[in-house]
Structure 1
Amino acid sequence: MEPFVKNNHSYLSIDSWMRRFPKLTAGFTTKNGGTSKGYFKTLNLGFHVGDDVTVVSSNREKVSELLNFPLSSWVGAEQTHDTILKKITKSDRGIGSDSYENAFKGTDGFYTDEEGILLTLCFADCVPLFFIAPERRMIGIAHAGWKGSVGQIAKKMIDSWGQEGIRPDKIYVAIGPSICENCYMVDQHVINFVEKSLVEGAAFTYNLISEGQYSLNLQELNKQILLASGVPEQNILQTGLCSSCDHEEFFSHRRDKGRTGRMMSFIGWKE
């Protein structure tokens, strides 16, 4: 069953989590329901892609109203395809919510155990990862393109939570809408990194298509890394949605040749 359920035309919710935890808000936006024009139409939430910043701000306001989560409680990052994580507290609220300039620099993942904070990251093909350890009220999100995936940002989140005393079998993860293996071709250079990141015996996550060209399943790569990190398979939800295949719902950096908007992953406990 698809874990990301469409609530309205502007976002999808991790339905089973939100039903279980009524104060939780968690999901992923679509490209629809905003006021951006041209390449960015309509619900672009990325400040850094060349769209009119005031329009992006109004799109973010719209999402904040839909989620009933004030923009002043959001945090955002200047994502760099690295594996740096930051633990967020209430004193960080608002950083990166209304401009790219004041976002957390060089950060690709957030986590917190405090209420009243919405963790947000931007996407247009990379894999959004969502984490929750309900017993400890810990939540997190990470941005995993091929560099973040082979850098094992998923494992880094599990390890960081381990330092907080949270065991991997108490962590639940959702793998969100991103580019599928049929749409994602990479070269030998990338595959060399993929092979180094996979534990021995892990399922193959790529296929040779032609000389030096491979299709890569980034979602499966992240799933294998999570399993190797001790997260039980039954704790992992995986989407069937592809950002590149679905023109109607999603922006795609690969499909749109770099001129496109950004969707947003979000997770937070309401106060």
Structure 2
Amino acid sequence: MSYVLEHLGNNLWRGRFTSFDEKICQHGFAGRLGGVSSEPYKSLNLGLHVGDNPEDVWQNRQIYCQSLGLPAARLVTPEQIHGDRIVRVTEEDAGRGAKEYADAIAGTDALITDVPNLPLFLCFADCTPVVFLDPEKRAIGIAHAGWKGTVAGIAAKTVARMTAEFGCKPADIIAGIGPAIGPCCYEVGAEVAAKFREAFPEDSEAVIKSDNGRLHVNLWEANRRQLLQAGLKRDNIEMADTCTACEHQWYFSYRADGGRTGRMAAIIALKGD
């Protein structure tokens, strides 16, 4: 079990977790290379909401989805607002937000489905992407866990929602915590640190570190511990351990790129019979 970065050709790259059975689902974490967008979104910007040319973004989405063998026109993506709303998507949602941001599922930060060939697609640039697979029930999920979503428990709530909607058992669910800003670079103020202490009272020392008076939060570990509390097996949680700020030559990073940049995407889709 590990996180690997694969070259797909034409300077396109995919991060993936080896524990996710590719006979059941396809998934990936996009890098920032191999697209058509111009600075400051160069080059594989997959976000429609950052000021890039929408035609370039749509071309980037087609390029990346084609490299994974997924239908870009069926992408389902939400308007991410750093909340904890989770939506179960169905065949009727196919294509929502794929070409136009106004058509995305409003006010939502996690998606779940059991419909094959329906790619779930979220955008990131330092926040934590979490993907889920239940190989027994053949159900998937994806969550946007920035600091607000992490404090709100969106990863654990996604597990609970998959349990309620599809009859999943948390012990069967595999989760992958993708590339995101790491504890090395994620410095926060006292107010944010206090929210993490409140949300993780028993784990605050593992989640928050003080270095010469500077406070750093470990979003990766916060989400891992949250998933353990939700009932996932320790061996079923994979972590990329990849900092988007340290490695922003490969990934978009809001902090490292000065606040104006593109977005990478996490994507997951069930395969059909």
TM-score w.r.t. structure 1 length?
0.95
* Structure 2 unpaired stretches of 5+: none
Instruction: Output the aligned Cα RMSD.
Output: 1.5
Cα distance in 2 between the residues matched to 1:99 and 1:269: 23
Contact 1:4/1:27 (CA < 8 Å) preserved in 2? no
1:192 and 2:199 correspond? no
Cα distance in 2 between the residues matched to 1:161 and 1:136: 10
Q: Which amino acid aligns with 1:223?
A: R
Match of 1:182 among 181, 184, 187: 184
Q: Which residue of 2 aligns with 1:84?
A: 85
Deviation, structure 1 residue 22 = 1.8
1:98 and 2:99 correspond? yes
Q: Give the secondary-structure state (helix, strand or coil) at the position aligned to 2:49.
A: helix
Deviation, structure 1 residue 193 = 1.0
Contact 1:69/1:270 (CA < 8 Å) preserved in 2? no
Q: Which amino acid aligns with 1:181?
A: P
Q: Give the secondary-structure state (helix, strand or coil) at the position aligned to 2:211.
A: strand
TM-score w.r.t. structure 2 length?
0.94
Larger deviation: 163-172 or 87-96? 163-172
* Structure 1 unpaired stretches of 5+: none
Q: Give the secondary-structure state (helix, strand or coil) at the position aligned to 1:220.
A: helix
Structure-2 change in CA distance of 1:201 and 1:43 (3 Å)? closer
Q: Which residue of 1 aligns with 2:3?
A: 3
Contact 1:203/1:224 (CA < 8 Å) preserved in 2? no
Q: Which residue of 2 aligns with 1:167?
A: 169
Deviation, structure 1 residue 13 = 4.0
1:109 and 2:87 correspond? no
Larger deviation: 9-18 or 156-165? 9-18
Cα distance in 2 between the residues matched to 1:14 and 1:201: 28
Contact 1:174/1:238 (CA < 8 Å) preserved in 2? yes
Deviation, structure 1 residue 202 = 6.7
Cα distance in 2 between the residues matched to 1:262 and 1:151: 23
1:131 and 2:132 correspond? yes
Match of 1:14 among 13, 16, 28: 16
Structure-2 change in CA distance of 1:258 and 1:2 (3 Å)? same
Larger deviation: 156-165 or 143-152? 156-165
Cα distance in 1 between the residues matched to 2:99 and 2:236: 34
Deviation, structure 1 residue 203 = 5.7
Matched pairs, number: 269
**Percent of residue pairs identical:** 36
Displacement over 2 Å in runs of 4+: 7-11, 199-203
